[in-house]
């Protein structure tokens, strides 16, 4: 099977698109915050790539330092080259330094978690997170991934994207979750209406049954990059009424303050 046949996607029609590079990045992207190690079979399952292709990619990425091979387990973990890139990217993000004090203030008030995330295909990746003092605060940290379509953060992000970009993301979601798509679509349509009316979205048990959250998008005036904030925690701590009447409006105010501060830099 050729590389083009393996890709099976629309990108093969783009002469500027390097399929091999895309597949290598897909391998790196499939590692999650709670994954200590992954084997070639697990990577193949997550990426949808044939195992022989995965074996060549993991071999190459290991040679380059982006993966480390643990011989005892015959599995891979992310290498120091990935960590170096990640920490460099985080350190260069002014928005984290601007946002953190405002996020922490809301986390202390709400006694739950407030996080900032950026979109990555069908996921949101946490780039900053602040926790309240409560023992039941959700333990998601920088680097954690959450779904874009069923979470408050992801829905707010989608609501703020230009229509063509939003549709491209939703097409990926539909292809990855064909059986759940009708339910996901209904939730998204409701969330987009809420965002238009209130300026924030909610996820009330849509992602996980015991998690409630509110989300707001923000745009970096300097770069035009769309990101999103959420404020979420255990369902019994965050009723729909508290999200709608208190934390939603407060999170909107935090987002606008962050945007204003970035605009002055």
Return the structure tokens found at 169.
């993301």
Identify the three-state secondary structure at position 131.
strand
Q: What percent of the chain has pLDDT over 90?
A: 66
Q: Which residues of the chain have pLDDT under 70?
A: 1-12, 83-84, 87-93, 135-138, 265
CA 176/CA 130 separation, integer angstroms: 31
pLDDT value at position 90?
A: 61
Return the pLDDT at 140: 81
One DSSP character per residue, 196-226 reads HHHS-EEEESSSSTTEEEEEEEEE-TTT--E
**CB count, 10 Å around CB of 108?**
13
pLDDT digits (tens, 9 = 90+) for 244-259: 999 999 999 999 999 9
Q: Is the pTM of this model over 0.75?
A: no
Instruction: Give ∠ CA 34-38-39 in degrees, rounded to 5.
Output: 165
The predicted pLDDT at position 202 comes to 95
What pLDDT is stored for residue 139 in this prediction?
A: 72
Q: pLDDT at position 87, please?
A: 61
pLDDT at 80: 79
Q: What is the pLDDT of residue 2?
A: 38
Q: 112 with 237: CB under 8 angstroms?
A: yes
């Amino acid at each position: 099977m050729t590389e083009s046949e393996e890709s099976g996607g629309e990108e093969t029609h783009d002469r500027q698109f390097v399929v091999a590079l895309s597949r290598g990045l897909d391998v790196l992207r499939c590692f999650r915050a709670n994954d200590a190690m992954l084997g070639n079979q697990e990577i193949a399952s997550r990426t949808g790539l044939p195992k022989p292709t995965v074996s060549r990619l993991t071999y190459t990425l290991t040679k380059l330092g982006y993966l480390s091979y643990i011989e005892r387990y015959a599995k891979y973990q992310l290498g120091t080259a990935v960590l170096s890139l990640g920490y460099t990217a985080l350190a260069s993000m002014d928005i984290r330094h601007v946002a953190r004090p405002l996020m922490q203030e809301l986390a202390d008030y709400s006694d739950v978690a407030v996080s900032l995330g950026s979109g990555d295909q069908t996921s949101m990746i946490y780039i900053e997170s602040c926790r309240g003092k409560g023992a039941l605060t959700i333990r998601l940290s920088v680097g954690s991934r959450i779904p874009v379509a069923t979470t408050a953060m992801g829905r707010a992000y989608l609501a703020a994207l230009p229509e063509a970009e939003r549709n491209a993301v939703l097409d990926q979601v539909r292809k990855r979750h064909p059986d759940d798509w009708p339910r996901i679509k209904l939730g998204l349509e409701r969330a987009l209406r809420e965002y238009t009316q209130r300026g924030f979205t909610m996820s009330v048990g849509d992602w996980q049954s015991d998690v409630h959250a509110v989300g707001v998008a923000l745009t970096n005036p300097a770069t035009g990059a769309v990101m999103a904030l959420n404020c979420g925690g255990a369902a019994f701590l965050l009723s729909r009424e508290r999200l709608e009447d208190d934390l939603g409006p407060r999170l909107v105010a935090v987002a606008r303050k962050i945007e204003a501060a970035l605009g002055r830099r």
